[in-house]
Structure 1
């Protein structure tokens, strides 16, 4: 991830909690290990001289000089950054607070503790920075699987170039074991690919000629050639990287709350620290300024909410990374929060619950025309459509040598096609279209109560044929619905443009709670609005992302299924599931809920420990040593808790 998109440092305690980046000076400070090593060595020697040897020459002046030298390697960079922040108007930064705390420690003669505060703070920051960088690098390594070379056809040979210089339409070669550099169409025979980087699936995928191959896939078994269809910047894997980068900039409500909370919390604690030093002078008869100043310094050290402002964004970042690892692209922490609250999941049928791999079962004829003649009309009309049913029909029908010429054609969404061929009006579509065109259907061609789809053809108002087409459910559809109910999703709903009887049979088979068929695209949107109005909790809609873009946009969480090849899906959906596995919906909800749990664990840990140490400090029962250990230690524990989500298994075989 770039610094701008996946930053997780804690630069200030009341300003700019938007996961700020480390400046060059800060990075240098955190990565120059000799500084804390030198300070630690000098501090250790000073403590030995102070408490064990106690030589005569180690007097007060020499002690001050010794501990000042120990302080400078770790203290100077922090003081410098605190001063620069103060000039910019950022008063309550951790650098300024740590500087004041250590100056106060030196003022009351607690030199070792003044050095220790800066030493442990710098070590803690170094560990925090290292943990954040490791998390960021692991996600980048997981996702940035773009190939660095492409073998481009040049006459009878191939030359090797960088993929970003390859234009659309060029032929490229991919050898066994190599990663596909660009999205393209397979122009050689069937080949097997490892698609885990794109879809999260470990099972190899077999792709036939003229089918799409995506950048990031690994060619498994033979030399293949592709025709490039997208540039390097617009390839599927580049879009994945861009989405994950942009996702970290979309803040969840918890992140926004903590940022606002920190801006109020830190100044209040600083004011309390000041009052803790000053007020006892009015009420405590045995008031000793140094003693109460020490208590105030403990307040300052523990006041910075670094554990909160580092670990919470990192928690959401970890959740987005864990989802990406499993082939689920969540476009922001706000959508992770929305997924957690989903109580109703609405499904499209074709291409979502089913494979959308239609096949023609049979063609019933109702006139003197034979199947070849009927086929000529069907092929001529359907060949210009990209609808899965149209492709099933054209794949089934023998292509005539002299295809009929279509003079005029109109596609009616949700109904079918109406064309003019050689002066004849040819209508091909569902029963509703036939009714609208006042075509009387042959009784044997009327809709039957099974999962097959009927496509009718009429010429000049006469019913000529009925094509029976069937689709099949996805293998994990039933398991996916069971998982959603097991997770506490109250209702599952199916919206489809298919005939009501077909939709109801599929719904009963899958045990879906509500089923609606015979819906036009605009009616799907209206039905979803109606569902949202009467639903408590969030409503998610899962569709193929092409025809369902309006409904995806209307839902609380739009989920595009298996749609990395679809620009409409990537742009419209809030969550993109790169494979066709419906069980990934439940998996995304599990990830969202676990992310939320981790975030609130970190909030509870940070606030709990800080509250205890602040109370102990106010009572004089906590030292600066304990304060700095609490601050740094809690931040490190919160970070470790946040990044562990990326190692969890969220799949379910139950």
Structure 2
């Protein structure tokens, strides 16, 4: 019901974005929740007294204008806000709103003398609306509170003395003092030698993460041991947690196809319902001999109440809120409810190797150079060239070779995608990369790289093959379990890597991955994903979200690993896994499947119950009380079902 919800949704949208940093004033507490029920409580008390006077006490004085006035007073607390919303919707150009339907139905019931029914319908509808508002607000608040637990104030060191200031006022470069048990308010660099942190606000994992001096620490982390000092590197509004919060809060703007369909359906459905109700009230005049307008009008009013689509309109987005919240609780960020739907239908997970299924922490295993080259001299040149790259291989070489010799002058340096690095040193060409790089520059070598399982870094200097380094990477602890879980979900797995085929096949065999391809350039990865998609497969690609941007764009859903360390990852991917655990991939798919299941349960429940009561109502069997259950009762059941996903364990 697009029209009926547009006003509320605008309010909620603004509500959720005003001062998202710390302002928890919008959280609905017990007192404010009780206030929301006060009009319904007053109306309910007056209705019960009226029914008692009508049915049990049967007071003679309770008739005529006194009886009408009593029920009108009972109607006003719950009816007036709804009629006001109906008027606002009409003024905004949306005539056929949910409020309009309920207004017509209840005023019509009062007009034909069905006073208790008229009040009861509006009363239960209003109670349903309060429950809906509470459920939606709670879902949004839960999502936010999972992440935004930063302190309002922080302790900074001014001239060596601690001083408490507002977190938002802290400048880059200032020193924050963090006591044991305190939560960090801003991103920074650790100045203390070591410190252990609980990173659950960012990753969903409570396992301590020990940081060393110079390492990055992020807002939301909790200091677990001694007093630590952190140098602020990012403004409060630009912190990692701020970006994550913004991403999660905006996630509901990307609607799932089911959600969009229901909205469009409701927009067309509601006016049809109004005209059908008019038909039910008037058309029998031409076909029924003992036609009574009051009787058929009552049936038409029942039809209006039953037909109200609020159960669908509220419970479906609430189901998706729940899915997004469940993901956030487990360190998985969905950029929109549409990606929950896509993940529910994923048939093939295509993954990168390095940093996704392996640790991405390389170590040099072996160094083999030809006798005519001095090992130390060549290593210095390689180290100087690799210092210009951020690739994990470069880090491994640097750790092995030691300090960089900055006196080495590199000219015409060039990074060749999928091959390696090239530069001119001492007027001689230096090549460091894979054997495709050697072939590209016609370097001859009497060596078969396929005989070695490890990653090989080939080196050529002055047009001659100098030798190679072997580098190994370890498989992540939960990588094997990940593949097993994906198989249980009937999801195929494919590994694509620029690393040499022997290494890729070796890792794939250890993990049990069905298809594995190595020696791939970025364009080769794109072609492989196109081949998989050509088989009508829904494809998820898992990688770092930056280097594999073309493949992420091509896939149906891009999943980024290691989002905790990369702002670019958050920008690129559709789904961000905030720690490096590949086991979150099947978890994300399972959350998508459970969300979709709950959404469809609500759709089927609403249509089934409403369909049965509609038939009974138009036949004159069902009364307004059954209509109330078909509308408000089903809406409440659907809400309870939708909220259930937030409590599930995945």
Q: TM-score, normalised by structure 2?
A: 0.92
Deviations 1:122-163 (A, max 9, x none): 222222222222222222211212332333343323433333
Q: Following TM superposition, by how much is the alpha carbon of 1:450 offset from its aligned partner in structure 2, in angstroms?
A: 4.0
**Matches of 1:51 and 1:128, distance apart in 2:** 32
| TM-score, with length taken from structure 1 | 0.92
Contact 1:453 1:502 in 2 (8 A): yes
SS in 2 for 1:393: helix
Does the C-alpha gap of structure 1 residues 643 and 451 become closer, same or farther in structure 2, counting only changes over 3 Å?
A: farther
1:509-553, CA deviations, whole angstroms, 9 ceiling, x for partnerless residues?
A: 2222222111122222232223222x2231111001231122111
Equivalent residue in structure 2 for 1:312, among 299, 310, 316: 316
What is the Cα deviation at residue 461 of structure 1?
A: 1.8
Q: How far, CA to CA, are the matches of 1:132 and 1:203 in structure 2? A: 31
User: Residue 18 of structure 2 aligns with which residue?
Assistant: none
Tell me, in whole angstroms, the C-alpha distance in 2 between the residues paired with 1:402 and 1:556: 45
Question: 2:512, 2:46 → 1: CA distance?
Answer: 71
- Indicate the residue corresponding to 2:513 in structure 1: 512
Post-superposition offset of 1:496: 0.9
Matched with 1:470 is: 472
- Is the CA contact 1:365–1:465 (under 8 Å) kept in the aligned structure 2? yes
Of residues 440, 444, 451, the one that matches 1:440 is 444
Structure 1 partner of 2:460 = 458
| Residues 318-329 of structure 1 aligned to structure 2 (within 5 Å) | 318-329=322-333
Q: Output one character per residue of 1:433-486: Cα deviation in whole Å (capped at 9) or x when no partner.
A: 12223323354xx42534311212222122333212111111111111111111
C-alpha distance in structure 1 between counterparts of 2:406 and 2:252, whole Å: 56
- For residue 77 of structure 2, what is the aligned residue in structure 1? 73
Deviation readout 1:314-339 (Å, 9 max, x if unpaired): 11111111111111111111111111
| Corresponding residue number in structure 1 for 2:626 | 626
8 Å Cα contact 2:562-2:578 kept in structure 1: yes
- Report the counterpart of residue 499 of structure 2 in structure 1: 498
State the Cα deviation string for residues 480-506 of structure 1 (Å, max 9, x = none). Answer: 1111111011x3111111112221211
Contact 1:30 1:126 in 2 (8 A): no
Distance 1:594 1:159 in 2: 48
Does structure 2 retain, via aligned residues, the 8 Å contact 1:79–1:95?
yes
- SS class of match (2:364): strand
The total of aligned residue pairs comes to 635
Q: Give the 3-state SS of the residue equivalent to 1:564 in structure 2.
A: helix
**Contact 2:2–2:267 under 8 Å retained in 1:** no
SS at match of 1:103: helix
- Cα deviation for residue 190 of structure 1 reads 2.9
Which residue pairs with 1:287 in the alignment? Answer: 291
Deviation at 1:402, TM superposition (A): 7.1
Q: Report the counterpart of residue 25 of structure 2 in structure 1.
A: none
Gaps of 5+ in 2: 15-27
Q: 1:526 to 1:448 in 2, by over 3 A?
A: closer
What is the Cα-based RMSD across aligned positions, in Å?
2.4
SS at match of 1:226: strand
In 2, the alpha carbon distance for the partners of 1:55 and 1:510 equals: 80
Task: Indicate the larger mover: 384-393 or 205-214.
Answer: 205-214
Which moved further from structure 2: 39-48 or 344-353?
A: 39-48
Show structure 1 runs of 4+ deviating over 4 A: 10-13, 17-20, 27-32, 400-403
Q: Distance in 2 between matches of 1:29 and 1:103?
A: 28
The one of 309, 333, 337 aligned to 1:333: 337
Structure 2 counterpart of 1:346: 350
Residues 193 and 218, structure 1, Cα contact 8 Å, conserved in 2: yes
Residue equivalent to 2:589: 589
1:200 CA displacement:
1.3
Who is 1:6 aligned against?
Answer: none
Instruction: Determine the C-alpha separation between the residues in 2 that align with 1:299 and 1:263.
Output: 18
How far off is 1:568 after superposition? 2.3
Asked if structure 1 preserves the Cα contact closer than 8 Å seen for 2:549 and 2:572, the reply is yes
**Corresponding residue for residue 24 of structure 2:** none
Kept after mapping to 1: 8 A contact 2:384/2:404: no
Do structure 1's residue 199 and structure 2's residue 203 form an aligned pair?
Answer: yes
Aligned to 1:617: 617
